[in-house]
Amino acid sequence: MLSTHVANKIAAGEVVERPASVVKELLENALDAEATRVDIIITAGGRKLISVADNGRGMNRDDAILAIERQATSKIKDVDDIEHIATFGFRGEALASIASVARFTLSTRQTADDFGTEVTLIGGKLQDVKDCGCPPGTCIEVRDLFFNVPARRNFLRAYQTEQAYIRNTFLLHAIAHPHVAFTLKCDGDLAYELAPCDTLHDRIMEIAGHEEMDRLLPIEYTLGYVRVFGYAATPAWTRADRIGQRVYINRRPATAPAIINAISEAYPKMEGNRKPILYLFVDLPPEEVDVNVHPTKREVRFRNTKAVRDAVIAAISQTLHSHGTPLPAGAPSHTEGLPPPPSVDVSRISTAFNLPATDMAPVAPPPRPVAPFPFETPSASPFSSASRPHPPVRTDAEDVVINMPSGAPWTQFRIVGRLSPGYVLLETNDGYTVLDPAAAHERVLYERLLGESGAAPYASQQLLIPQTIELTPIDYRRIETILPILHEMGFAIEAFGQTAFIVNALPDILAGTSSEAVLIDTAAAFEEAGSKRGRERWREEIIAKAASRAAVRSRRTLAHAELSAIIVDLAGCTMPYTSPFGRPTMIYTSFRELDRRFGRS
């Protein structure tokens, strides 16, 4: 038999992963106690102190002592209750677990009582129970989290990172409870002060502001016993990760594979597997949900997965459809009133390469070392200048044959046309090439951003109006961490308060793109690359992602002249045959190969 003490510490490992998990449990308890006001104070990212005070129903002395015992829950009376759980907590192990890995004080009072009770534990050992003066409700203070579990403590990230997780948890819950007033104080600064409001709409406005709200479409749909509501962004507003997808099941922040799949099915296929922004609430009878899958209750299961899936798909599709988004899957599009997706101004690309924007006729490209082509074999080279038996045939005014200057890796090409999946067909000296313009564009932007020597600072393009970017706590923290690298890349960006940045300039190659999207992706790329790779590798990843982001539109929408510019620029690249992510930019077939296949010999 394990001692209770050890059992608690083991349970703590499941429930309390990091300071944000403590905040989550305490917040949920406060909401279960029907609080209308919750005040949270943290210091040092929650490592030193997490205090959560509520004005909920409070506990009497007996309940307070019971509350810190394992499996003590007032929320389930008998086994059947497990089948229809409507409250957040039910396992009765959160407080005991938290108390076992911290210095823990619980003070609580029921409104009718004259005084309250204060219970103190250190590392799970009860120290003191006494009367205390306190307002009605409950206040729990957790100090020195993991002081007795060095392995956990050492595993924690920088305190700003932990703070970002806490802010995110805070917002996640605050969104689901618009009627409740919330404050969050971090290291003495008031990070959020949310007044109670009437609707989800008002709460999202309070947190995210008008601009974000204007880009969201309301969802309201009921199918059978499943009600789906909330807000969904059009397919034009996406993120590379899932942070912007807030999903609630019976008002509990939670996820389920069925819902994740339903979301991606309801939206048109996204370039680069991006995720649309979403505030999605799924309500259904509690007995249809199994929340007892994981100790943190983050992932749930449904009795009837299909019922939930169908409802979510129908709800989102209907919302998108009624706002003019073409369905089913097609090219990502944007609706009126939304900022257009990032695009690259071809005149800037051309300027960057010393090419005139309008006339794509041969012009000397910047002097560039002609690098060896790593994938080139003499017979498979699409643009070999050694032999040119067939100069591309010129057919009409649109189909201009472009002659490359000497020193370029290919001598001539002609854009024959576009194939419906978005590929471009080129005729070159001695064969034809099917080009993926997005991959090609990515390569061109990537090499430009990376810089030939890798040392030259990038040119910046001042924004006419500096842009303020309001970010989620996690994005804010990520970007804060890479500010020096961003500056090096040509971003002029400064912190503006606790949650926003001001962008004054972008790297010139990215001018015209949405700086918000680029920054968020850049930060996510950085986070993914993590500490495993060196700084140089980070930079390359960031640049590759930025290039890919900027090139996303190329597959369908590039004008003829823009395409020509990219092909000319591609000729100047060190590695023209692959995108920065290793996808081919082109597939070449020589005329000799065609002749052979047709038996012309």
Q: Is 29 in the site for Mg ion (CB under 5 A)?
A: yes
Q: How far apart are CA 430 and CA 413, in angstroms?
A: 10
Residue (10 or 364) nearer to Mg ion, CB:
10
Q: Is 268 in the site for Mg ion (CB under 5 A)?
A: no
Q: Is 11 in the site for ligand ADP (CB under 6 A)?
A: no
Find the shortest distance in angstroms from Cβ 68 to ligand ADP.
8
Tokens of residue 133, six digits: 């003066």
Find the shortest distance in angstroms from Cβ 95 to Mg ion.
7
Residues 94, 247, 259, 311: which binds Mg ion (CB under 5 A)? 94
Q: How far apart are CA 440 and CA 554, in angstroms?
A: 9
Residues 33, 145, 289, 444: which binds ligand ADP (CB under 6 A)? 33
Tokens of residue 587, six digits: 């597939």
| Region binding ligand ADP by CB under 6 A among candidate stretches 84-92, 189-197, 407-415, 577-585 | 84-92
Angle between helices 159-176 and 19-32 (to 10 degrees): 20
| Residue 316's binding partner out of ligand ADP, Mg ion, none, with CB under 5 to 8 Å set by partner kind | none
Q: Is 25 in the site for ligand ADP (CB under 6 A)?
A: yes
> How, if at all, do strands 492-496 and 245-249 pair?
unpaired
Residue (94 or 171) nearer to Mg ion, CB:
94
Q: How far apart are CA 226 and CA 220, in angstroms?
A: 11
Q: DSSP class of residue 405?
A: P
Residue (172 or 416) nearer to ligand ADP, CB:
172
Q: Is 576 in the site for ligand ADP (CB under 6 A)?
A: no
CA angle 522, 525, 531 (to 5 degrees): 125
Find the shortest distance in angstroms from Cβ 195 to ligand ADP.
21
| Residue 90's binding partner out of Mg ion, ligand ADP, none, with CB under 5 to 8 Å set by partner kind | ligand ADP
Contact 281, 315 (CB under 8 A): no
Find the shortest distance in angstroms from Cβ 285 to ligand ADP.
21
Residue (49 or 349) nearer to ligand ADP, CB:
49
Q: How far apart are CA 265 and CA 315, in angstroms?
A: 12
Q: How far apart are CA 103 and CA 107, in angstroms?
A: 13
Q: Is 72 in the site for ligand ADP (CB under 6 A)?
A: yes
Find the shortest distance in angstroms from Cβ 26 to ligand ADP.
7
Residue (122 or 544) nearer to ligand ADP, CB:
122
Interacting positions 111-150 with ligand ADP (CB under 6 A)? 138
**Residue 494: how many CB atoms within 10 A of its CB?**
13
| Region binding ligand ADP by CB under 6 A among candidate stretches 25-33, 384-392, 404-412, 515-523 | 25-33
Q: Is 173 in the site for ligand ADP (CB under 6 A)?
A: no
For 206, residues 6+ apart whose C-beta sits below 8 A from its C-beta are: 194, 195, 197
Phi, psi of 418 (to 5 degrees): -110, 140
Tokens of residue 57, six digits: 């129903």
Contact 219, 316 (CB under 8 A): yes
For 132, residues 6+ apart whose C-beta sits below 8 A from its C-beta are: 107, 115, 116, 117, 118
Binding site for ligand ADP (CB under 6 A): 25, 29-30, 33, 54, 56-59, 67, 72-75, 89-96, 138
Binding site for Mg ion (CB under 5 A): 29, 89, 94
